[in-house]
Structure 1
Amino acid sequence: MPGLDLGREAWLLATGTLTAFRVPMPSRVDRSVAGLAMALAPVAALPLGVVAGLVVLVGEWIDLPPLATAYVVVLALALGTRAFHWDGLADTADGLTASYSRERSLEVMRTGPVGPAGVVAVVLVASLQAAGLTAVVRHEHGWLAVALLVCASRACLAVACVRGVPAARADGLGATHIGAVPVVAAVASLVVGGVAVALAGDALGSAWPTLAGLVLMVAAVVALLMRCVRRLGGITGDVLGAAVEVSFAVLVLAAATV
């Protein structure tokens, strides 16, 4: 059936792109497959969520300090994504601070080594993630909340790739995905993310802070997109990676207030 084939190809593309888990290559990659792949990102991230939850459980079992457990979660997620999103965050920060020239900024994002802005961005966002996780893993069901928040954070990709968002350049890994997600699919992805954050909040004691975190996550992603569109004329695959890491930081910080 065409619909099932499209869904399978999109799931393979999302899992193969967004995680380090080995899956067969999709037989085709076009705008329709790429758009659905970004909408399916919260589901494709489920293996990452399981790994993060297991890290928290093992940390509890061996009586690891919450801060240490939090940093191991950050490390496990970096390994589980080949640090792909962290590279995007660093390149985005460097590009936005490199020059007033759009062309120069895009060149820095494409080929430049990590600069001061990129280092600061990675250290700051990783530290914020660890700070939020430290509070979350102290809860009895913190492992479940962490797993759900990992998946929910990937809903930002449907927002970032919704139709109408321009690509900064015609080539690059993100060019096929950017602007390829139908509005209905983006809303559906956010609904899945909303269910995940509500369940995470319920596991911690209250769903309202995590739901507020989802709203803040969307606001942060929209602000990032607007800045990049004004500065670069659109977004790149690096911006998508930056959106994932910022989104996870926002969600775990919101969960830390429960």
Structure 2
Amino acid sequence: MPSPPRQPSRPSVPPLHGPRFAFGTLTVLPVTVHRWDRDAARGGMLSAPLAGLVVGGCAAVAGLLLLSLGSGGLLAAVGSVAVCALLTRGLHLDGLADTADGLGSAKPAEDALRIMKQSDIGPFGVITLLFALLAQVAALARVYDGSWAGGALAVVVAAVTSRAALTLAARDGVPAARPEGLGAAVAGVVPVRSAWAAAGTVALAAAAAGSGFGGFDAVRSGGAALLALGAGELLLRRCVRRFGGITGDVFGGVEETVFTVAVVVAALGR
């Protein structure tokens, strides 16, 4: 009896391809992305908060190190913000500036997308970038001056929450504005329930982390995460209406907006 035909062997899949996708696309860490298919993108976007935890942890360490050397809260805040930018190649900041230029151009969607794709930064982008960085540094300086541990917590919560916003932005039903690029690769890959579950988990984790400092800090940390995610959702919906979908620049704009709102809320009432 002839033996059944052998099935062609599939290439072996490296383990942890979801986190690899997240760290390989969202950070400068030397992580090789072996797969670019939809399954890997789904795992990557669900793992985005984990990438945020690493980035935020490194930024917090930088701030605490500067504080231990007697720098004061302002320089510690600058150090934390700088590390966040360095660990992402500044791509999220660039995305924020490009998104601001596209939204402020008052051009049709196709022309606005073309403006966003250009390498230069226009006046809307410059102004938005300036005020976002000023707000981040000023807010973190306030928190660091009040408590070194509170400052570290604010950085980590903001970094994780801002990456959870990317998980939400990649949920099913959110289209891509272009047929190519990162936006097209991750648009709609995350099931809606999974995306909101990830966001809710991050908000609860932020509240739990804040509870170590007292009830008010639990509310403030959890509230910072929720308000920041709400701001990111508003920007996402505005971009989808304006551009017809998401792009890599929109992802960067959402991330930086959420980070900024999170640290600003963390600084209130101190």
State TM-score, norm by structure 1. 0.92
Partner of 1:64: 71
> Among residues 174, 177, 180, which one is paired with 1:168 in the alignment?
177
Partner of 1:22: 30
Q: Give every structure 1 segment of 4 or more consecutive aligned residues whose post-TM-superposition deviation is greater than 3 Å.
A: none
Give the 3 Å change call, closer, same or farther, for CA 46–211 of structure 1 in structure 2.
Answer: closer
Aligned ranges 1:194-213 → 2 under 5 Å: 194-205=203-214, 206-213=217-224
- Give the secondary-structure state (helix, strand or coil) at the position aligned to 1:76: helix
How far residue 204 of structure 1 moved from its aligned partner, in angstroms, is: 4.5
- Rg: which structure is higher? 2
Report % sequence identity.
40
Partner of 2:200: 191
Whether 1:13 aligns to 2:21 is yes
The aligned length equals 253
Whether 1:245 aligns to 2:256 is yes
How far residue 64 of structure 1 moved from its aligned partner, in angstroms, is: 0.8
Whether 1:222 aligns to 2:237 is no
Aligned ranges 1:129-144 → 2 under 5 Å: 129-138=136-145, 139-142=147-150, 143-144=152-153
Paired with 1:231 and 1:145, the residues of 2 have a C-alpha distance of 32
C-alpha RMSD of matched pairs (Å):
1.8
How far residue 56 of structure 1 moved from its aligned partner, in angstroms, is: 1.9
State TM-score, norm by structure 2. 0.88
User: Any conservation in 1 of the 2:231–2:258 contact (CA below 8 Å)?
Assistant: yes
Q: Which amino acid in structure 2 is aligned with residue 242 of structure 1?
A: G
Q: Which amino acid in structure 1 is aligned with residue 67 of structure 2?
A: E
1:29-83 deviations in whole A, cap 9, x for unaligned?
A: 1122112211111112232122112112112211112111111111111011000
User: Any conservation in 1 of the 2:158–2:263 contact (CA below 8 Å)?
Assistant: yes
Give the 3 Å change call, closer, same or farther, for CA 7–196 of structure 1 in structure 2.
Answer: farther
For structure 1, the residue ranges without an aligned partner over 5 or more in a row are none
Q: Which amino acid in structure 1 is aligned with residue 201 of structure 2?
A: V
User: Any conservation in 1 of the 2:171–2:192 contact (CA below 8 Å)?
Assistant: yes
- Give the secondary-structure state (helix, strand or coil) at the position aligned to 1:174: helix
Whether 1:147 aligns to 2:156 is yes
User: Any conservation in 2 of the 1:149–1:200 contact (CA below 8 Å)?
Assistant: no
Partner of 1:113: 120
Give the 3 Å change call, closer, same or farther, for CA 179–84 of structure 1 in structure 2.
Answer: same
Give the 3 Å change call, closer, same or farther, for CA 228–166 of structure 1 in structure 2.
Answer: same
- Give the secondary-structure state (helix, strand or coil) at the position aligned to 1:155: helix
